[in-house]
């Protein structure tokens, strides 16, 4: 079943709007997230980036349409959306601190396990978990509680959890925020390695990071789409420049 989707796995958002008691957090959002690229979602604070992801992952109710594999995500519950292959992380890494790194990944890998198998203890480490441990570079820490991990490592663990749950669309909410330059670079390389046939959507404030790793960029402003295109196109866009004028990120964009 997965094979038939190769090359045509995309998430198409049409006329998405989110209304918080009369306040239009986002409206008229039309965007298509294509397979195989690092799609950055940027915009000033309050632009509606996280709200967009919240709506697409069932955390807030939105109107419009968001089609992925013939399912409208806006009509589904959070856990159903995950089972369909759309995963996300949060601005603050939320791993299960009392469980080990391995247990965190094992739980994420288990969403299709039968109830009967859940009642048994884990005898071996599932192959997908072992691979994810290597990919995110936490093999040596597999048996340590996730609570002791450094900030960056927690974010990588979150990415690893998305990998083992085999998310085809990943929304990463400010994953590199608060990371050191070294960690940012490692994270960027990690995302490049895993993107493969996945769709990775990165919400980001760090323009330097965006310019280095983005394949495609969507700019949001005031709850609406402002522009989209490659990094070069976005940087040349006068509208984007005016939105960012006078903010600190202007310098980064021009640089």
Partner 1 sequence: MTVTTVAEATAVPDANEVAAGAPSRFSPSRLFSDYGGLIGIAVLAVVLLVWAPSSLSTFRLGNLGKYCTWAIAGVGIGLAWGRGGMLVMGQGVFFGLGSYAMAMHLKLESAGAGNVPDFMVLYGDGTMPRWWEPFRSGPFTLFAIVALPAVVSFLLGYAILKRRVKGAYFAILTQALTVAFATLLIATIKQTGGFNGLNTFSTFFGQNLYDPDVKKDLYLITAGLLILFLVVVWQLYRSRYGELLVATRDAEERIRFLGYDPANIKLVAFVVAAVMASVGGAMFAPIAGIISPSNVDATASIMLVAGVALGGRASLLGPALGAIAVGFGQSSLSEQFPTQWTYFQGALFIVVVLLLPGGITSLSSRLKAVLPRRKVAV
In the complex, which residues of this chain contact partner 1 (CB under 8 A)? Answer: 57-58, 77-79, 82-83, 87-88, 90, 94-99, 102-104, 106-108, 110-113, 117-122, 124-127, 130-131, 134-137, 139-144, 156, 161, 165, 186, 189-190, 193-194, 196
Q: What is the smallest separation between the CB atom of 87 and partner 1, expressed in angstroms?
A: 7
Q: Report the nearest approach of partner 1 to the CB of residue 246 (Å).
A: 36
Residue labelled with tokens 């990371």: 179
> Least CB distance from residue 133 to partner 1, whole Å?
9
Pairing between β-strand 23-34 and β-strand 10-20 as defined by DSSP bridges: antiparallel
In sequence order, which residues have a C-beta less than 8 Å from that of residue 39 and are 6 or more positions away? 33, 199, 200, 201, 202, 214, 215, 216, 217, 218
Return the closest-CA partner of residue 40 out of 208, 184, 215: 215
Nearest alpha carbon to residue 241 among 194, 207, 209: 207
Nearest residue (CB) to partner 1, 82 versus 253: 82
CA–CA distance, 233 with 227 (Å, rounded to integer): 9
Comparing CB distances to partner 1, the nearer of 88 and 221 is 88
DSSP type of residue 174: S
Cβ distance to partner 1 smaller for residue 122 or 151: 122
3-state secondary structure of 160: helix
What is the rounded radius of gyration, in angstroms, for the C-alpha atoms of the chain? Answer: 18
Nearer to partner 1, 91 or 247 (CB): 91
Least distance from C-beta 121 to partner 1, angstroms?
5
Tokens of 72: 């409208």
Nearer Cβ to partner 1 (13/56)? 56
Contact 240, 219 (CB under 8 A): yes
CB of 122 to partner 1, least distance (A): 6
Instruction: Give every strand in the sheet of 224-229, ordered side by side.
Output: 86-88, 169-173, 199-203, 38-42, 216-221, 224-229
Rank residues 77 and 255 by Cβ distance to partner 1 and give the closer one: 77
Given a contact cutoff of 8 angstroms between Cβ atoms, the answer to whether 28 and 204 are in contact is no
Closest separation in Å from C-beta 110 to partner 1: 6
Q: How far is the CB of 153 from partner 1 (least distance, A)?
A: 9
Q: Which is nearer to partner 1, 110 or 229 (CB)?
A: 110
Q: Say if residues 144 and 100 touch (Cβ distance below 8 Å).
A: yes
């Amino acid at each position: 079943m997965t094979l038939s989707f190769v090359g045509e796995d995309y998430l198409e958002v049409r006329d998405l709007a989110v209304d918080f008691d009369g306040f239009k957090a986002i409206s008229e959002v039309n965007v298509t997230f294509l397979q195989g690229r690092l799609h950055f979602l940027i915009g000033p604070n309050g632009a509606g980036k996280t709200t967009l992801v919240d709506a697409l992952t069932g955390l807030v109710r939105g109107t419009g349409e968001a089609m992925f594999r013939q399912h409208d995500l806006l009509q589904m519950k959070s856990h159903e959306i995950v089972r369909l292959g759309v995963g996300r992380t949060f601005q603050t890494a939320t791993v299960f601190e009392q469980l080990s790194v391995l247990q965190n990944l094992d739980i994420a890998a288990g969403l299709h396990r039968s109830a009967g198998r859940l009642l048994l203890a884990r005898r071996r480490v599932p192959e997908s978990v072992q691979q994810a441990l290597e990919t995110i570079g936490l093999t040596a820490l597999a048996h340590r509680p996730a609570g002791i991990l450094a900030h960056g490592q927690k974010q990588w663990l979150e990415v690893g959890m998305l990998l083992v749950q085999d998310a085809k669309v990943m929304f990463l909410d400010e994953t590199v925020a608060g990371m050191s330059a070294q960690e940012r670079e490692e994270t960027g390389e990690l995302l490049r390695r895993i993107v493969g046939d996945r769709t990775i959507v990165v919400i980001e404030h760090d323009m330097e990071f965006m310019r280095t790793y983005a394949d495609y960029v969507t700019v949001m402003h005031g709850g609406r789409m402002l522009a989209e295109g490659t990094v070069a196109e976005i940087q040349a866009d006068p509208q984007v420049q005016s939105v960012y004028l006078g903010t600190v990120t202007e310098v980064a964009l021009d640089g």
